[in-house]
Amino acid sequence: MTIERVAIFAPGDMGHALARVLVAKGLTVTTNLADRSDRTRDLARAAGITDTEDDVAAVDGADVLFSILPPSLALELAQRLASSLALARSKPIYVDLNAIAPASAVEVGEVIEGIGVPFVDGGIIGGPPKSASGMGPRLYVSGHEDDVTRVLELRNFGLDMRAVPGGVGAASALKMSYAAVTKGLTALAIQSLASAKAYGVGKELDAEMVASLRMLRERFDRSLPDMAPKAYRWVGEMEEIARTFNDVGLDPQIFMGAAETYRLVAGTQLGKETPENRTIGFTADEVSEIIAGALEAGLPQGEG
């Protein structure tokens, strides 16, 4: 049967943007906005999402359910929806698209499959689609072959769905390995540029990077401003990457440190920004200046 309805929890930055694409292609997208913020309600309304005001009504009759929210909430959402999914007469395939470790994906899958609902592991690489017809991120999925094949039908509705071999955990492993490079590098840039600012050598570092690391410097010019309103979500993602690496015998401390870096950013003025309403942090220089200003005093003093 053709997919006709998708439930999305929750329609935030990524969720509402994917919903907009699906709605434009003729699908019905449902969610439950009870207790959600005014911002989330506005995003959902703009995307054409149907608010059922109830979990059971949102999932019952859906063909596919997307879980897209901060990684620390992935298991909590599965546990919350378990009772509603158990009551649903027509059950969707539950696709966890959160940035979580493979072991975390297995834990979520156990909750969902434990109530007789098919589960697919997933990971999103790339930013939200800018428009209903624009190119969006890659949505990698893995799990039981029949379930993955069914979810791949969403290619016909504007989503770039891609299968990953290896069962539940494989798509999450790909996402974690990729994000370790991209968001790990951004965390390194935050520390480097902010510490240079704190020590008063920001201009000198910038000049050297322009001379010898121009491509990296240009990347930082894009990634630091883009990171600012997302830092709070990336705390949990770094912790999930640490778990991913620890589970294969690698030292997780690098990414626990990256988590603390993003926690620091989230606690500054930058953490109050939203993607659609930016007021500060438009350049890497401005971002690093704000972060440097938030650092505790105590720099070593030279003898002069």
* Co-location of 133 and 276 in the same domain: no
> Is a pLDDT exceeding 90 seen at residue 298?
no
Within-domain flag for 221: yes
* Co-location of 45 and 161 in the same domain: yes
Q: Tell me what pLDDT residue 256 has.
A: 98
Q: Tell me what pLDDT residue 1 has.
A: 64
Q: Tell me what pLDDT residue 301 has.
A: 46
- The CATH number of residue 203's host domain is 1.10.1040.10
171-187 tens-digit pLDDT = 999 999 999 999 999 99
- Average pLDDT of the segment spanning 22-49: 95
50-107 tens-digit pLDDT = 999 999 999 999 999 999 999 999 999 999 999 999 999 999 999 999 999 999 999 9
* Co-location of 23 and 145 in the same domain: yes
Place of tokens 């329609």: 11
Within-domain flag for 177: yes
Within-domain flag for 300: no
Q: Tell me what pLDDT residue 134 has.
A: 66
* Co-location of 81 and 11 in the same domain: yes
> Is a pLDDT exceeding 90 seen at residue 215?
yes
Higher pLDDT, 56 or 298: 56
pTM of the shown model: 0.93
* Co-location of 163 and 177 in the same domain: no
Higher pLDDT, 295 or 32: 32
Domain boundary among 141, 167, 193: 167
* Co-location of 142 and 43 in the same domain: yes
What is the C-alpha to C-alpha distance for residues 296 and 101, in angstroms, rounded to an integer?
Answer: 32
* Structural domain boundaries enclosing 136: 5-167
Place of tokens 């209903």: 132
* Average pLDDT taken over every residue of the chain: 94
pLDDT band of residue 131 (cuts 50, 70, 90) is confident
Within-domain flag for 16: yes
